[in-house]
Amino acid sequence: MMESGAHFCNSCGEQVGHDANGELFVACHECYFPICKACFEYEVNEGRKVCLRCATPYAHRAKDNDDTKAYGNQSTMAAQIDVSQDVGLHARHVSTVSTVDSELNDESGNPIWKNRVESWKEKDKKNKKKKSAPKAENEAPIPQEQQMEEIQSSEAAAAEPLSAIIPIPKTRITPYRIVIVVRLIILGLFFHYRVTNPVDSAFGLWLTSIICEIWFAFSWVLDQFPKWCPVNRDTFIDRLSARYERPGEPSQLAAVDFFVSTVDPLKEPPLITANTVLSILAVDYPVDKVSCYVSDDGAAMLTFESLVETADFARKWIPFCKKFSIEPRAPEFYFSQKIDYLKDKVQPSFVKERRAMKRDYEEFKVRINALVAKAQKTPDEGWTMQDGTSWPGNNSRDHPGMIQVFLGHSGAHDIEGNELPRLVYVSREKRPGYQHHKKAGAENALVRVSAVLTNAPFILNLDCDHYVNNSQAVREAMCFLMDPVVGRDLCYVQFPQRFDGIDRSDRYANRNTVFFDVNMKGLDGIQGPMYVGTGCVFNRQALYGYSPPSMPKLSKSSSCCCCPSKKQTKDVSELYRDAKREELDAAIFNLREIDNYDEYERSMLISQMSFEKTFGLSTVFIESTLMESGGLPESADPSMLIKEAIHVISCGYEEKTAWGKEIGWIYGSVTEDILTGFKMQCRGWRSVYCMPLRPAFKGSAPINLSDRLHQVLRWALGSVEIFFSRHCPLWYGFAGGRLKWLQRLAYINTIVYPFTSLPLVAYCTLPAICLLTGKFIIPTLSNLASALFLGLFLSIIITSVLELRWSGVTIEALWRNEQFWVIGGVSAHLFAVFQGFLKMLAGVDTNFTVTAKAAEDTEFGELYIIKWTTLLIPPTTLIVINIVGVVAGFSDALNGGYESWGPLFGKVFFAFWVIFHLYPFLKGLMGRQNRTPTVVILWSVLLASVFSLVWVKINPFISRADSSSISQTCISIDC
């Protein structure tokens, strides 16, 4: 960092200065990391013997500095990482410390609290010296050879990365990029031909087709170019263990808080939630580092009682899983595996214990199912607990906050006497008149509760129907987040979603293979994948809204990248928010440096710095935000933690704070996941996509057609809401240029794709119109036009083939994705746009009801459930009118003779394109025994008939002159 030719220390902000020879002081001759001599001596005295940037040892300074004689006595890799992170944070905020309130500044313009911070640091240094003095006297001298071996081994461990980027081979990615560019050129030539060759006899159809094709090309660019630099990643769990789990020493792995969200136990079966919780409690991770928080947003006594049973069964299940290395560690899915469970199990007692465990699990299922059966009918007086008191959550919309710790780090042991992870039940307070923000609000409540009770530096959130399929999943994420180089700027590690219970053909593209194996890999090569709502490990500090440590500050003169030389007229509010965020970052760093302080002064400073305006009125929670490495502050009173946890989940806690606006899960859309990840990456954070060989998490997908369409409708509606909000990627977050352009294109694609439904419905209707009227959208083809069409189709095919080659996706998965893109586009996406416009213009919230019919009691029986929903009408109508058009086209060709078969080919080709893409919808609509709702057939046939009759009556392709001449001809005919 240089200002006016002077070098400044990245630790204290002072000038680096000169050495004894009068030359500029350099601590590390490898990377020339700017650090002053005073800070260098402090680092050495503290036992930190490597460069903070490149991890090169300070060996060349050891001989010259007398203070470095004993610095090799204590040096673990964890300490080095903590220091590098702290210094990076300090370097980020050097000389930016200021107050939020102007009244805190004295006459000279310096903050009043700066003197307090300096005095506290002096006290801290004195206390450290007092503590270290007797320790040095009692320690026995370490032989020099042993000391050198320890140094060399620690240096070797520091040099080994915990993860590696595996780029796509050039033989696969280079042809892919070349074809993309060639396809872009062909598209330009194609549109030049289409625009310069109008069809006068069907001008309306031609103009409609041109508009649709231009939009399709635009959406293709948005979808294709973010996949320009795909990467794969590999992790080294053995190195993670060697670095942070040394024999004979306590584990240095970071703690993780798991979040599980549920609302209605009658729609989200408690048995599935129990399996998710059991798989979390049994992960291969130190038990004192794992805490599981279950959010019951419906305040259901059924969920509470099922967790009581789950906690009791966990005492048996967890030691069984860890003893025999069971995978997966969700009992329902482990016992239902159709594999040889004796493979790789050599313990003689395994078969006996497995049978006993399966019997215990069956009894556990019986108890859970009995609770579910009991909960089917609510008593008139409401539910009562075992002690006779009324259940506080009888009114799900008006109840107090509830917290119950079922398992903890002390007092709760399994059947073998080992400690168990923490399990906490949370139901936030709800009162009429308050906005609770659904899932996003529940997740923010869990953030605050976990910060007060455990405060792990990392958070992993799962839906209640997603269980841990790979017990090493947390370690996989830690290979990124705990890496001193990679993890500094990571806001989260996203895992792909995998699903159980889907038929082999996957007719409705429930697996989303193309998105998770192609698009997300492409984003990982830019700024990282987007957050998809579940299976994600967060850096808690990123959720608090801070900027990454290595991100440079926005200068006061920074402007929108579009208009760097003009005065800012846009994004002023963003710059203001960034400035306030940097002030808060700087204040938090200074407070984090202090170990010994006066309680009254600390509380005064917290209030003065407007922490309460950001995080809310909880001193305990604000104290936890100062702990970058997690853990509870020493000042926390254990007896008051539950009371404080109840306070932070009160319904009015978030009022007049930054929750849901700048920190935590962001409000404003039903797809809060996209908004949350987008805000983080706009601040400069990166994310990582982790795809272990064994899927980390698995979930249950909506398998039947109606449920799948309603899932897609919810996603599309959330994108439309973001499009009409202030967080739209088209105009949000340009200040500072922290979001890369290809990443912005990807986010734009996530919010504009529902609008593709409008041109898609029009384009799927055009073939039927052409067949019914005898007109066509393309004039007579010349040799040049034929070559352009052929080149366009070949480029589409080659792009898909090359994409399959580098991604590993199958042709069937790509075809299913293409089919459901059309099915969802002409149904769910269309209704999402319609509902979004109604909500924006008139404030009307439209709900599309779903009515289920009985399913067959067979494997994949739910696949054949037919549920009546309005979403089924548009695609059924399109199928009917295209079939009618094909029949009418062939009839005209038979009556018109040989010359009419040529023009018919192009029209029928487009009609069959629509029918083939809608075929899975037609198959799902008919079901196994043709059990289609009659109302769907009636509506579709009625719409298709009315449309055909009105079209024939109006016949817009016959001009007035032609119609008058035809009438005169008819009059002159002598009948």
457-492 core/surface letters (b: 16 or more CB in 10 A; e: else): bbbbbbbbbbbbbbbbbbbbbbbbbbbbebbbbbbb
Across the chain, what does the average pLDDT equal? 77
Locate 342 and state its tokens.
């004796």
- Binding site membership for UDP-alpha-D-glucose: which residues? 261, 267-268, 297, 438
534 and 390 in a single domain? The answer is: yes
Cα torsion 646, 649, 653, 657 to 10°: value is: 130
223 and 241 in a single domain? The answer is: no
The single residue listed with the structure tokens 């206390």 is 127
Which residues lie closer than 8 Å to 458 by C-beta, 6 or more apart?
Answer: 254, 255, 256, 257, 477, 478, 481, 537, 538, 539, 540, 630
390 and 304 in a single domain? The answer is: yes
Is the pLDDT score of 867 beyond 60? yes
- Summarize the confidence of residues 202-231 as an average pLDDT: 91
What's the CA gap between 284 and 121, in Å, rounded?
40
- Binding site membership: which residues? 261, 267-268, 297, 438-439, 463
What's the CA gap between 277 and 364, in Å, rounded?
14
The single residue listed with the structure tokens 């993860």 is 163
**548-604: pLDDT as tens digits:** 887 655 444 333 333 334 334 444 444 444 554 555 555 555 554 545 445 555 555
Which residues lie closer than 8 Å to 76 by C-beta, 6 or more apart?
Answer: 154, 252
676 and 795 in a single domain? The answer is: no
What's the CA gap between 422 and 288, in Å, rounded?
8
Beta partners for 687?
A: 492
Residue 284 falls in the annotated catalytic set: no
111 within domain boundaries: no
Could you check whether the bond before residue 230 is cis, i.e. omega within 30 degrees of 0?
A: no
143 within domain boundaries: no
Percent of the chain topping pLDDT 70: 71
What is the pLDDT, as a whole number, of residue 175? Answer: 92
203 and 278 in a single domain? The answer is: no
Catalytic hit among 257, 296, 297, 524: 297
717 within domain boundaries: no
For every residue of 927-949, DSSP letters joined together read TTTT---HHHHHHHHHHHHHHHH
What is the pLDDT, as a whole number, of residue 677? Answer: 92
881 and 818 in a single domain? The answer is: yes
Query: Exposed, middle or buried by CB within 10 Å (0-12, 13-18, 19+), for 388?
Result: exposed
Give this prediction's pTM.
Answer: 0.76
960 within domain boundaries: no
783 and 819 in a single domain? The answer is: yes
What's the CA gap between 211 and 199, in Å, rounded?
14
Percent of the chain topping pLDDT 90: 30
Which CATH number goes with the domain that contains 23?
3.30.40.10
Is the pLDDT score of 84 beyond 90? no
- The domain of 668 spans 237-548+657-701
256 within domain boundaries: yes
337 within domain boundaries: yes
Final residue belonging to a domain, choices 701, 723, 753: 701
**470-483: pLDDT as tens digits:** 999 999 999 999 98
708 within domain boundaries: no
Alpha helix (H) residue ranges in 56-112: 59-62, 77-92
Is the pLDDT score of 247 beyond 90? no
Catalytic hit among 506, 517, 585, 673: 673
- Exposure on the CB side of residue 654, measured as CA atoms within 13 A: 28
- Binding site membership for Mn(2+): which residues? 439, 463
Locate 251 and state its tokens.
């584990």
Final residue belonging to a domain, choices 59, 79, 104: 59
Is the pLDDT score of 960 beyond 90? no
146 within domain boundaries: no
Residue 503 falls in the annotated catalytic set: no
- Exposure on the CB side of residue 329, measured as CA atoms within 13 A: 28
What's the CA gap between 777 and 406, in Å, rounded?
68
Helix (H) and strand (E) counts in the chain: 34, 15
Query: Exposed, middle or buried by CB within 10 Å (0-12, 13-18, 19+), for 704?
Result: buried
Final residue belonging to a domain, choices 11, 42, 59: 59
209 and 252 in a single domain? The answer is: no
693 and 750 in a single domain? The answer is: no
Which CATH number goes with the domain that contains 290?
3.90.550.10
211 and 248 in a single domain? The answer is: no
869 and 747 in a single domain? The answer is: yes
Domain count, the chain: 3
666 and 806 in a single domain? The answer is: no
